[in-house]
Structure formats: C-alpha cells, structure tokens
Structure 1
C-alpha cells in the first residue's frame, strides 16, 4: 500500500468532522500521498449516499457488511456510539481492515480486551481515536515541564463540561451514555499524558446521576505514589472553562481547552505571564490521529506510539473502576 484508503463507519456528527478532515488532508501536500477519503457506510443507504455526495467520497454503502467486503478499503474510522465499537471493530479487523476507533474505545474493559485480542490475532492495526493524544500540544506541554521552568510538579487540574442532555445517546444507559465516557475521558487523558503512567496510590470520586441513571456530573481525584494530586471534572449539564493546569513549585502553566488545546501560558510564582505558546495551525485537529494511524499501517504495526494498546486498557480500567465506585452499570453489563 502506497496510500491508505479511509472509510467511515457511521454518518453522524463526528463522522462529518472526520470527512471534512479527510477531504482537507487529500488537498494538502503533507498528507495527499498518505491518505485518501474513499467510502462511508450507514445503516440507511440513502443517508450514506447523501453523506458521500456532500463530501465527495466515491463510494457509499447501506450496510457495514458491504463496507468491510470492499477490498479497496484499508482503514475504517468507527464513528458510532461507544457500545457498538467492539462488535464493529472486530467485524472490520476480521475482514482485513485496520481500525481507528473513536473514543471511548469501548463501553468497558472487557470490550476493549476483546477488540485488542482480535488485533493481536489478525495482525491488523487498531488504535483509539482520542485526538488529544496525537496533537503537537502534548509534546509542547511535556517540553515545558521537562525544562524545569515551573519547578517540581505538585498538582494537576482539568475539566471538560458541555450541556448535551438534548442528545438522546448522551443520556441513554443502553448506549453507554453519561459524562464519563463522552467527555470525562479527556481530563483523565490530559492528566495521564502528563503523569506518563506513574503509579496511582488511590482514587476518590463522586457523581451526580441524571434521571436516566447515567452520570450527569462527576468529580475525580487521583493521588499518585510520587505525591502528585490530580483533580478532574466532567459534566453533561453545564458549560465549563475547559481549562487544564499544571501547578509547580516555581510556577504553573495553563492550557486553553483541554479538548483541543489552543494555547499554553506559563506563569511565575508572582502570577505574571512569562511565556505564551500558540499551537501549530491545524486542518481540523483530527489529521494527526489519521496520519499516525495510516503511517503505522504502512509500517506494518498494530498500534500507534501516541496511544498504545496498554494506555487504552489502562484508561478503560480506570473508567470501569470509577463506575464501580458509583454503582453505575449499563444494561448490557448486567
């Protein structure tokens, strides 16, 4: 394969963002020889055809089975609700397709393990599409901390909240709804990327349930063995500032919008701004995960360095543990 033909499984809002990304990548000198927007599949053939026409995809299908039977499809981006990811990722990999699976990778650790077991069995590329893991801002934050300018890191704080209860899937337990898997996964990953898999001594958390039983607002505190304390919040009830902060003994840094970091500011101990960093201009922000996945496929790898399988499992296990503390089970887990 000299170029990766990308197909999108699902035709919802996030699928449209990926379609826009692929079209822009195909027109960009940095990516045009790497990926090509090729096909889309939905359970409704007319909807898939309209989607393909809108974005200029040459092929559309009215079933997922037709999509994976197409020998020209190399990589499938899975853009459906969390609880469908395992079934669909496995379908694709058994048909010889690599998969880029939208976060959350699955509804629980069991599903995640089933997906990754099939990746090992088939040798197909499989990675989680949590875009912040692939963005340049990740390395920028690491470099600032490593420079020692804010001193020794003592605490981290991150939040991500949007009022999204009007979306049926967000409040539906049968679709693994709630704040945790939809937005809570971002502050957890923000903290995890900074801590580089340091061992956690204990976790304390709480949540406010929505009327359907899913978590509407949650709060988490992670106590690391090295003394760092990290706090996170997520919600489907309200707006928040979406900020991320790393607090050190000599100063601190803040990140505007942990869901897609726009800028990083550094402060000294007197709260004076000592540096401001804008992130590189991007097409949509999704191009980084697509490029990494496509290159990994061309290299014959089964995972991406930015989000290896071990990291996906660790985050999934963390979210399972949080839900266990809250007594929150989805109907299909009973």
Structure 2
C-alpha cells in the first residue's frame, strides 16, 4: 500500500497532505501544476493537496518546471520519481502510447496514479494497467475531467426531471485545428483525432444519454478521413444506436474548429451544453425553440481540481478506483474506441 492509502483517520489527525507529483513536463503538465498550486492555496482543498514533485526525461527541464511552480522536488527520470517514498499520487501527463507502461511503473512502486485521457492507447493496455491496480491495491483513475465536474450531475438532473420530455436523440462535437502538433499525426504516439479530442464527445454521450441512464449500444455506424501522410484519423463521425431506439452522433476533428456543443433532444424540448470539453452553460429550450432558462456552471479553479480531489479522497479511503470514473467506465470507452478503429482499419504500429 502507499504512504496514505486507507489512512484517512491518521491523515486528518496529523494534518498531513496528499503529495501530488507530475510525470511529464509538457503543456498539460503545466495546466495541472497551476491547478495544484491553486488548490493548495484554496480553502476548499488547502488541507488536502500539496504540489510536491515533477519528473521529466531531462533534469534541467524538470528543475525549471519545479522552480516555476514552487514544487519541492525535481527528477530527471521517472524511476527516480517513483522511488521517492513521499510521493502519494502521480498524475501522468505524457502521450497516450506511454500511459500504460508508466502507470504500471508507478503502481508497482507503490504509487497511486491519475492517468490523463485517453487512459491508454487501446483496451488491451487498459486491462493490463487495471489488473496491476487490483494486484497492488493502488488507485488507478482516468483523468477525463468532464466526468468529475458538477456539470455532469446538472445535465443528468435536467434530463431526469422530465423538463425536456422523453429523450430519444443527442449529438456532441469537439474539433480543434491541432494537426500541426507532431504527436497528433504520429501513429507511434497513438495520434489522430479520436484519442485526443474524440474521446470527449463519446464520454459526453455516455453520460448524457448512454450508460448513466442505463442504455446499451446496439449498433454503430462510423467513418473517418485519414491524414494523408500517416493514415491516422484526421476527422471522424460516429452514430450510436441504443437498444431502446435512442440515437446519438459524435464528431471530432483535428483539422477545424467547431462550436464544441452537446445537445440532448426530447419530445418536450432540448438542452444545449456550451463546450463539452469544459461546460460553462446549459441552456434549456422548449419545443417552440424559445429558451426557457440558462444555467451557469459553478466557478472553478481550472476544472482539473475535481479529478484531483476525487483521486485524493479515493486513495485515502483505500479505493483503487474513483466513483466518478470507475474502471468499468474507462474500459467501456476504450473498447468503444477500439471498435471504431477496427471499423476504420486503423492500427498503431505497436499493435501489429
């Protein structure tokens, strides 16, 4: 077990904090560092979280990162990071293709992990990592922030209230022009739109009308446009048909910008979520297309704080998964994305 796993009473009595480390020092690692610093300074999370360490494959880069954000420790290798007995929770902020091996490295060293989406490159890797969590008793959670945000329950509450009537269809899209980033077009990095941005529309639909509401996918229609040089998906569209006749469409692209909206349609009206990647507002409409009400999502530090707090509380309770994104949900989404790539005949080099 880790330093604090299952030790909530001792933790609260001692005034200790969950020491969070970041594995990787890229763009998203900086966003997490900003989150941890803000959490440590806040009244809501200040007694829970401490920004502790960072590791990169270059010590100078790690030291610069630690200096910028005020972290206690900087390491020039991931092995040194996981050898530090004071690390409690490691946020993995590297390309998808590395997540499984790095999560396993951490857990086998007694470290809990919060793994940036997509959790792994494929379902086989996900199963391997989740098996190690069970073997070691370490927390292993996917850091897809929208699963942990208050907006998830807000959307589900509107649907459950019957305000928009019986839900029978939905759509969600997320598109950014990011093909200029080398990893996005590189099959060896599990590049393409699907794992980087397409995972959000699929998760939105899973929460808004899918598994959160007991629906099961019956069949799938999907297609993609390949990136000419490497064959990864440049943009894609997927329609999910559920066993009760409900239909949902997910679209993602790394070529263009989109409105990023999620919509849920019922027979008495519909709701529109502004930015499924970080919901800011939910608008509810009637069948006359007149807006009935607009609900603002609560102010947040960065939006990442919810996943960190859930992970910290779960490890203190001795859990190996977070309630907001349990292992079954992570595996279901990974299996869904595998099935889409199978239909596209898209394999990454390390899968062959």
TM-score w.r.t. the length of structure 2 is: 0.94
Q: Which 10-residue stretch deviates more, 273-282 or 193-202? A: 193-202
Distance 1:146 1:313 in 2: 26
Distance 2:92 2:170 in 1: 31
Structure 1: runs of 5+ lacking an equivalent:
none
The answer on 1:183 being equivalent to 2:197 is: yes
Distance 2:248 2:270 in 1: 14
Structure 1 residue corresponding to 2:309, chosen from 275, 291, 306: 291
Structure 1 residue corresponding to 2:264, chosen from 241, 246, 253: 246
The answer on 1:13 being equivalent to 2:40 is: no
Distance 1:329 1:202 in 2: 21
SS at match of 1:118: helix
SS at match of 1:328: coil
Structure 1 residue corresponding to 2:67, chosen from 38, 47, 53: 53
Specify the alignment match of 2:250 in structure 1: 232
Distance 2:69 2:180 in 1: 27
Distance 1:224 1:46 in 2: 51
May I ask how many residue pairs the two structures share in their alignment? 334
Q: Name the Cα RMSD after superposition.
A: 0.5
Q: Deviations over 1:222-268 (max 9, x none)?
A: 00001110001000000000000000000000000000001000000
Q: Deviations over 1:164-215 (max 9, x none)?
A: 0110011100000000000000000000012225211100000000021100
The answer on 1:330 being equivalent to 2:348 is: yes
The answer on 1:135 being equivalent to 2:149 is: yes
Specify the alignment match of 2:288 in structure 1: 270
SS at match of 1:113: helix
Deviation of residue 152 (structure 1)? 0.2
Q: Deviations over 1:133-181 (max 9, x none)?
A: 0000000000000110000001010000000011001110000000000
Deviation of residue 278 (structure 1)? 0.3
The answer on 1:302 being equivalent to 2:284 is: no
TM-score w.r.t. the length of structure 1 is: 0.99
Structure 1 residue ranges (4+ consecutive) displaced by more than 6 angstroms after TM superposition = none
Specify the alignment match of 1:207 in structure 2: 224
Structure 1 residue corresponding to 2:160, chosen from 142, 146, 153: 146
Distance 1:214 1:32 in 2: 42
Q: Deviations over 1:295-318 (max 9, x none)?
A: 000000000000000000000000
Distance 1:148 1:165 in 2: 41
Deviation of residue 86 (structure 1)? 0.5
